[in-house]
């Protein structure tokens, strides 16, 4: 009986692409989870961590490799693995009590036992008095409590949490986290292990015993960080701050152009960052108190942005050579500083220069338009090209990003009704 | 309420796929099969004579009850069809490719023209003659109710939020349990809305299906519809008035004791709750909910229902850990075989049927007459739009007016306009007007209201901020219509116009030939053609007429309405 709670070996997962090929989303995942651990899966949007959670839950099957739960392969939704969803996934037509009972009814238990266990779970999670309420009558925090009660009532061995606090406001999220950790710490929860998917670095450090960092495209585990701070943890504790900083450093080390030396190519998936956000961040960095250089966690805190929101902006600024990101810091380049000093028109010119110099897709679009006799080309022409190298969704996003930049830089125009790129701007 | 589109609008890519062609063939095969079957059993019916119903108003309660019962039986059948057909289409990818286009084609078939054929078919099936006629009437009503319900259910099943599906799988609900606790509840509000539309729409068919003459056979079932037919025959305007009054009462009753409680009850199934929207209320539901007796009586059924939903045996882990979809290939093969066999049969039947007596000249005539009807439909929809879009925007922009007008418009859409035909006919005869022109408005008499109430809904949905912005920048007059009002209501207008246009085609079969006592008027068109062939009992040409009309409807939906809908949806849908 010494089999680990969960054992994932050589797991690979692909999604079918529009052109019939496969898109690799998870690669080489090795993971063992022992009893009594909270394990965090931390990564950017699109790193496949939610997909991994669904593979563990048996909601989908991996393309390659195995998921073993208590020595048994997971080939479908397994008993003993329950999930808490980001959007709560409560059934709006069932009351709180009925929602909680649903999983027990599926188990085919006798009615009195269903009722007894459901009421106990509701009591445990602090939902007393709300039994006959419908989800729509509850606040977000109360709804997620129902989500927790519904998962716990089936007495799962593993609780899977898919960004369970990200749809809640800051205060509510903190209350729910604390309540959960208290129950977990007191051994009141009928579970043996927890897997938490999150993109919130502080949340991971606050809750987890082990944190696995995921890279993007495809998702791989790039680093494992153990957290042995005692619970309850204090966000202001220097050791806590150190860990957060350490994770920032690890995560920024993987962005393109930096230490890895990866160049932006025509097939790079581009982040959708508006020119306004660019200008705003460059101005902020150039001014007091940063003087062109800032610590990313500090900056994220100051701007009330989550790491997941800040990273794409930093990454885009780096692609444009407006800034360099390294070791958890962001630093403006000379071009970046110049940009901060310019007025609107000069900024546009500089932006166009950087765009055409460093974003190969933009250069490509403009060259195609110049070469054609009518200086126009349909969107599908570029979309088809991109879809050979990325998913349909990424291709769409990438083309939108480049369209927005091209418009701001006045490098080319786009007419959405006709779906046509052109060199002409309306006069 | 989410707007429901009454045609299939899922694909941009191609106007017609090979699955559409298959669907056309299968539908055609079905029509031919019914026509063929009826032709052979036609003779024994020639001696059928029944005493016609009397025009005594005292009979009306009984007639109304019988008519309502027919509609409710048809509704039950429609639900059964919806739960099976739409579920298969939504859950089985292989089946979906054929079933969805098939549904699209089926709902374009003007069943009004086919009632005569189905009557004969069903009378042959049933041992007793009355029962056969009842079957035929119920079948006609069913075909007017089922398609849009199935479509709505299919669309709902396709849009069940992923997280809910995942949650139900994570908690390992059996497919049977998930269907009743997740799929059906999620689809319920939209389905009930469509049930109401179907019930309204079917009045038109009730009037047409209770008194039918095919050749020299007349079948009359006691009901409001046959009462009206008799009143028209005897030119009894007072009796027509009595019938209309009865219908009003019946509509009011089933609205209060059936649909209003259903809508109020189904409110809990709404997935997205628009803020500020008042929850619907029903006094009947309140009584039912608060009554102890009702609770006591229904409790055993509720317990039984829950038992039915439970898995048979207590759960065991091994049973659940199964490899999914191992039999995929087998299902595909079997389905392919069935489709192939059906198509071959349909093709063979159709070819044989048409080569028997239909010439190219016949086809040409039908197509030309169809063109005449097409012109009528286009002109009428344009006219109705010019009148009702501004009116609808005006009403929808004034919440107080909308509260009053919206239910009236919905009632008018439910009202079987064919009841009013006699009055129009008398007027045309009295003033010696040209029936080719003046019979036409009858086609749209009942269907124009769909445009009105959809536009009202669209105008009412324009956000207050947009209105305020318009007012702030002093956008007025034509500019306001062009830039704000018309774009905002376009998606809603298109939805209404699709329904109105489809309904008008169907109505042409009774509108292009109208009579009042011994006065008969006729306009040249495909509807009149089908009506004539029905009188003559020429099954080949009835089928031809219907096939050509379906063709017109399908082609217009595909080349005009669908692209317009997708465009409006993409560009002008707010929020």
Q: pLDDT tens for residues B278-330?
A: 667 777 777 777 766 667 777 777 777 777 766 654 444 444 444 444 444 55
Of all residues in chain B, the one with the smallest CA distance to A95 is B268
In a domain, B299, yes or no: no
Buried b (16+ CB within 10 A) or exposed e, B252-275: eebbeebbbbbbbbbbbbbbeeee
Alpha carbon B349 to its chain centroid, in Å, reads 28
Of all residues in chain A, the one with the smallest CA distance to B180 is A93
Instruction: Tell me which of A370 and B40 has the higher pLDDT.
Output: A370
In a domain, B150, yes or no: no
DSSP β-bridge partners for residue A39: A195, A210
Q: Do B170 and A107 touch (CB under 8 A)?
A: no
Coil, strand, or helix at residue B5? coil
Predicted confidence at residue A39, as pLDDT, reads 93
The yes/no answer to whether this complex scores an ipTM above 0.85 is no
Report pLDDT digits (tens) over B112-143: 777 777 777 777 776 556 677 788 888 888 98
In a domain, B548, yes or no: yes
DSSP β-bridge partners for residue A16: A22
Q: Do A93 and B269 touch (CB under 8 A)?
A: yes
The whole domain housing A23 covers: 6-252
Q: B522 and B435 in contact (C-beta within 8 Å)?
A: yes
Instruction: Say how far apart CA B250 and CA B62 lie, in whole Å.
Output: 12
Residues 6+ apart with CB under 8 A from B29: B342, B343, B345, B346, B347, B349, B350
Predicted confidence at residue A250, as pLDDT, reads 82
Cross-chain CB nearest to B164 (options A57, A91, A417): A91
Q: Do B313 and A81 touch (CB under 8 A)?
A: no
The count of other CB atoms within 10 Å of the CB of residue B250 is 19
In a domain, B472, yes or no: yes
Q: How many CB pairs under 8 A join A and B?
A: 97
B214: left (phi over 0), alpha (psi -120 to 50) or beta: beta
Cα angle, residue A194 at apex, residues B164 and A24 outer, rounded to 5°: 65
Helix-strand-coil percent breakdown of chain B, rounded to 5? Answer: 80, 5, 20
Same domain, residue pair A335 and A211: no
Average pLDDT over residues A27-37: 89
Q: A208 and A198 in contact (C-beta within 8 Å)?
A: no
* CATH number, domain containing residue A245: 3.40.50.300
Predicted confidence at residue B346, as pLDDT, reads 78
The count of other CB atoms within 10 Å of the CB of residue B535 is 14
Q: Do A76 and B174 touch (CB under 8 A)?
A: no
Predicted confidence at residue A426, as pLDDT, reads 52
In a domain, B409, yes or no: yes
**Average pLDDT over all residues of chain A:** 86
Tell me the residues of A at the B interface, defined by beta carbons under 8 Å apart.
Answer: 54, 57-59, 61, 72-79, 81-83, 85-89, 91-94, 102-103, 105-109, 134, 136, 150, 154, 417
Predicted confidence at residue A210, as pLDDT, reads 92
Count: domains in chain A: 2
Same domain, residue pair A177 and A302: no
Same domain, residue pair A380 and A425: yes
DSSP for B250-312, written as a single string: HHHHHIIIIIHHHHHHHGGG-SS--TTPPPP--HHHHHHHH-HHHHHHHHHHHHHHHHHHS-S
Same domain, residue pair A297 and A404: yes
Instruction: Tell me which of B128 and A329 has the higher pLDDT.
Output: A329
Average pLDDT over residues A34-47: 86
* CATH number, domain containing residue B438: 1.10.3720.10
Q: What is the CA radius of gyration of chain A?
A: 24
Q: How confident is the model at residue A1 (pLDDT cuts 50, 70, 90)?
A: very low
Count: domains in chain B: 1
Report pLDDT digits (tens) over B388-403: 999 999 988 888 887 7
Instruction: Say how far apart CA B379 and CA B441 lie, in whole Å.
Output: 10
CB of B429 within 8 Å of any CB in chain A?
Answer: no
CB of B478 within 8 Å of any CB in chain A?
Answer: no
Predicted confidence at residue B371, as pLDDT, reads 93
In a domain, B235, yes or no: no
Instruction: Say how far apart CA A145 and CA A356 lie, in whole Å.
Output: 50
DSSP for B268-279, written as a single string: GG-SS--TTPPP
Q: Do B185 and A93 touch (CB under 8 A)?
A: yes
In a domain, B125, yes or no: no
**Gap from B463 CA to chain A (nearest CA, Å):** 23
Instruction: Say how far apart CA A15 and CA B428 lie, in whole Å.
Output: 67
Predicted confidence at residue B375, as pLDDT, reads 93
Residues of B in contact with A59 (CB under 8 A): 166, 169-170
Q: Is the dihedral of CA B122, B124, B128, B133 positive or negative?
A: positive
Q: Do B185 and A105 touch (CB under 8 A)?
A: no
Predicted confidence at residue A207, as pLDDT, reads 92
Same domain, residue pair A235 and A321: no
The count of other CB atoms within 10 Å of the CB of residue B410 is 19
In a domain, B158, yes or no: no
Predicted confidence at residue A211, as pLDDT, reads 92
Same domain, residue pair A230 and A362: no
**Gap from A84 CA to chain B (nearest CA, Å):** 8
Same domain, residue pair A102 and A140: yes
**Gap from A249 CA to chain B (nearest CA, Å):** 34
Residues 6+ apart with CB under 8 A from A104: A113, A114, A117, A118, A153, A154
Q: A75 and A61 in contact (C-beta within 8 Å)?
A: yes
Burial of A235 (0-12, 13-18, 19+ CB in 10 A): exposed
**Gap from A108 CA to chain B (nearest CA, Å):** 5
Q: Do A77 and B317 touch (CB under 8 A)?
A: no
The count of other CB atoms within 10 Å of the CB of residue B474 is 8
Interface test with A, best of B171, B268, B272, B567 (most A CBs within 10 A): B171
Q: Do B171 and A89 touch (CB under 8 A)?
A: no
Q: Do A72 and B321 touch (CB under 8 A)?
A: yes
Predicted confidence at residue B223, as pLDDT, reads 85
Predicted confidence at residue B275, as pLDDT, reads 47
In a domain, A1, yes or no: no
**Gap from B468 CA to chain A (nearest CA, Å):** 27
Predicted confidence at residue B127, as pLDDT, reads 55
Residues of A in contact with B269 (CB under 8 A): 92-93
Report pLDDT digits (tens) over B207-240: 778 876 666 666 778 888 888 888 888 888 888 8
Of all residues in chain B, the one with the smallest CA distance to A418 is B567
Of all residues in chain A, the one with the smallest CA distance to B161 is A89
Same domain, residue pair A227 and A110: yes
Phi, psi of B515 (to 5 degrees): -140, 155
Predicted confidence at residue B215, as pLDDT, reads 60
Instruction: Say how far apart CA B189 and CA B262 lie, in whole Å.
Output: 9
The count of other CB atoms within 10 Å of the CB of residue B299 is 10
Residues of A in contact with B164 (CB under 8 A): 89, 91
In a domain, A352, yes or no: yes
Same domain, residue pair A169 and A315: no
Torsion of CA A104, A106, A111, A113, to 10 degrees: -30
In a domain, A343, yes or no: yes
The whole domain housing B430 covers: 359-575
Coil, strand, or helix at residue B229? helix
Instruction: Say how far apart CA B78 and CA B81 lie, in whole Å.
Output: 5
Same domain, residue pair A185 and A275: no
Among residues 260-289 of chain B, which lie with CB inside 8 Å of chain A?
A: 268-271, 273
Within chain B, which residues score under 50 in pLDDT? 1-2, 12, 40-50, 274-276, 313-328
Buried b (16+ CB within 10 A) or exposed e, A309-333: ebbbbbbbbbbbbbbbbeebbbbbb
Predicted confidence at residue A206, as pLDDT, reads 92
Q: Which of A41-50, A111-120, A311-320, B226-235 has the highest mean pLDDT?
A: A111-120
Q: B402 and B394 in contact (C-beta within 8 Å)?
A: no
Q: Do A74 and B321 touch (CB under 8 A)?
A: yes
Q: Do B269 and A92 touch (CB under 8 A)?
A: yes
Interface test with B, best of A70, A82, A105 (most B CBs within 10 A): A105
Same domain, residue pair A85 and A176: yes
Q: Do B167 and A76 touch (CB under 8 A)?
A: no
């Amino acid at each position: 009986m010494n089999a680990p709670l969960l054992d994932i070996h050589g797991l690979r997962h692909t999604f079918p692409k529009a052109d019939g090929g496969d898109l690799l989303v998870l690669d080489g995942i090795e993971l063992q989870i022992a009893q009594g651990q909270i394990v965090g899966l931390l990564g950017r949007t699109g790193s496949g961590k939610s997909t991994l959670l669904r593979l563990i839950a048996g909601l989908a099957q991996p393309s390659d490799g195995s998921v073993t739960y208590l020595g048994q392969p997971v080939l479908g939704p397994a008993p003993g693995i329950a999930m808490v969803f980001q959007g709560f996934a409560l059934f709006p037509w069932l009351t709180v009590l009925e929602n909680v009972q649903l999983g027990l009814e599926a188990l085919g238990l006798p009615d009195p036992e269903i009722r007894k266990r459901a009421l106990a779970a509701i009591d445990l999670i602090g939902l007393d008095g709300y039994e006959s309420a419908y989800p729509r009558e509850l606040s977000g925090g109360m709804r997620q409590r129902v989500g927790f009660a519904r998962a716990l009532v089936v007495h799962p061995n593993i609780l899977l949490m898919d960004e369970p606090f990200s749809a809640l406001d800051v205060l509510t999220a903190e209350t729910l986290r604390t309540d959960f950790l208290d129950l977990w710490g007191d051994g009141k929860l009928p579970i043996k292990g927890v897997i938490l998917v999150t993109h919130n670095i502080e949340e991971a450090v606050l809750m987890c015993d082990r944190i696995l960092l995921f890279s993007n495209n495809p998702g791989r585990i790039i680093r494992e960080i153990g957290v042995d701070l005692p619970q309850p943890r204090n966000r202001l504790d220097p050791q806590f701050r150190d860990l957060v900083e350490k994770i920032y450093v690890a995560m920024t080390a993987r962005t393109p152009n930096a230490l890895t030396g990866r160049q932006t190519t025509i097939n790079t998936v581009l982040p959708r960052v508006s020119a306004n956000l660019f200008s705003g961040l460059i101005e902020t960095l150039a001014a007091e108190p940063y003087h062109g250089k800032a610590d990313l966690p500090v900056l994220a805190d100051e701007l009330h942005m989550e790491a997941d929101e800040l990273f794409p902006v930093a990454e885009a600024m780096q692609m444009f050579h407006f800034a360099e990101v390294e070791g958890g810091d962001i630093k403006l380049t000379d071009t970046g500083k110049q940009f901060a000093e310019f007025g609107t028109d000069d900024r546009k010119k500089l932006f166009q220069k950087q765009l055409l110099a460093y974003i190969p897709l933009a250069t490509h679009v403009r060259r195609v338009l110049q070469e054609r006799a009518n200086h126009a080309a349909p969107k599908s022409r570029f979309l088809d090209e991109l879809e050979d190298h990325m998913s349909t969704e990424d291709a769409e996003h990438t083309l939108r990003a480049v369209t927005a930049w091209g418009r701001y830089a006045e490098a080319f125009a786009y007419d959405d009704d006709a779906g046509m790129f052109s060199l002409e701007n309306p006069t | 309420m989410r707007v429901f589109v009454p045609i299939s609008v899922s694909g941009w890519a191609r106007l017609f796929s090979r699955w559409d062609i298959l669907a056309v063939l299968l539908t055609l095969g079905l029509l031919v099969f019914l026509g063929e079957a009826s032709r052979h059993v036609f003779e024994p019916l020639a001696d059928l004579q029944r005493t016609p119903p009397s025009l005594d108003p005292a009979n009306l309660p009984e007639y109304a009850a019988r008519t309502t019962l027919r509609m409710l039986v048809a509704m039950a059948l429609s639900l059964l069809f919806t739960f099976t057909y739409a579920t298969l289409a939504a859950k089985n990818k292989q089946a979906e490719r054929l079933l969805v286009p098939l549904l699209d084609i089926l709902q374009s078939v003007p069943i009004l023209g086919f009632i005569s054929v189905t009557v004969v078919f069903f009378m042959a099936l049933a041992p007793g003659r009355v029962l056969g006629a009842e079957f035929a009437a119920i079948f006609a009503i069913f075909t007017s109710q089922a398609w849009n319900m199935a479509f709505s259910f299919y669309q709902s099943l396709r849009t069940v939020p992923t997280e809910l599906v995942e949650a139900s799988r994570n908690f390992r609900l059996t497919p049977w349990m998930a269907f009743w606790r997740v799929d059906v509840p999620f689809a319920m509000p939209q389905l009930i809305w469509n049930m109401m539309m179907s019930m309204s729409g079917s009045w038109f068919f009730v009037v047409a299906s209770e008194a039918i003459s095919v050749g020299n056979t007349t079948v009359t079932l006691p009901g409001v519809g046959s009462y009206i037919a008799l009143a028209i025959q005897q030119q009894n305007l007072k009796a027509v008035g009595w019938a209309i009054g009865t219908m009003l009462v019946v509509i009011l009753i089933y609205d209060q004791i059936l649909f209003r409680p259903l809508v109020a009850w189904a409110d809990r199934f709404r997935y997205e709750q628009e803020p500020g929207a008042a929850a619907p209320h029903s006094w009947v539901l309140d009584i039912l909910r608060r009554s102890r007796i009702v609770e006591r009586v229904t409790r055993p059924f509720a317990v039984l229902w829950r038992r039915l939903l439970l898995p048979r045996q207590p759960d065991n882990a091994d049973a659940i850990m199964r490899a999914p979809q191992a039999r995929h290939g087998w299902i595909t093969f079997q389905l392919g075989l069935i489709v192939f066999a059906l198509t071959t049969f349909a093709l063979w039947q159709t070819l044989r049927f048409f080569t028997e007596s239909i010439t190219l000249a016949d086809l040409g005539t039908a197509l030309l007459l169809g063109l005449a009807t097409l012109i009528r439909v286009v002109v009428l929809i344009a006219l109705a739009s010019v009148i009702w879009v501004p009116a609808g925007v005006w009403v929808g922009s004034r919440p107080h007016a909308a509260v009053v007008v919206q239910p009236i418009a919905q009632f008018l859409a439910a009202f079987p306009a064919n009841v009013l035909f006699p009055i129009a006919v008398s007027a045309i005869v009295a003033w010696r007007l040209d029936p080719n022109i003046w019979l036409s408005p009858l086609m749209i008499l009942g269907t124009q209201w769909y445009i009105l109430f959809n536009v009202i809904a669209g105008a009412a949905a324009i956000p207050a901020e947009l209105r305020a912005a318009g007012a702030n920048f002093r956008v007025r007059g034509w500019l306001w219509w062009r830039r704000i009002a018309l774009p905002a209501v376009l998606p809603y207008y298109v939805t209404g116009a699709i329904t109105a246009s489809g309904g008008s085609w169907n109505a042409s079969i009774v509108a292009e030939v109208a009579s009042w006592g011994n006065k008969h008027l006729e306009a040249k068109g495909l509807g009149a053609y089908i009506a004539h062939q029905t009188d003559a009992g020429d099954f080949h040409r009835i089928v031809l007429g219907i096939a050509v009309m379906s063709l017109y409807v399908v082609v217009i939906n595909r080349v005009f309405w669908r692209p317009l809908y997708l465009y409006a949806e993409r560009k002008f849908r707010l929020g």
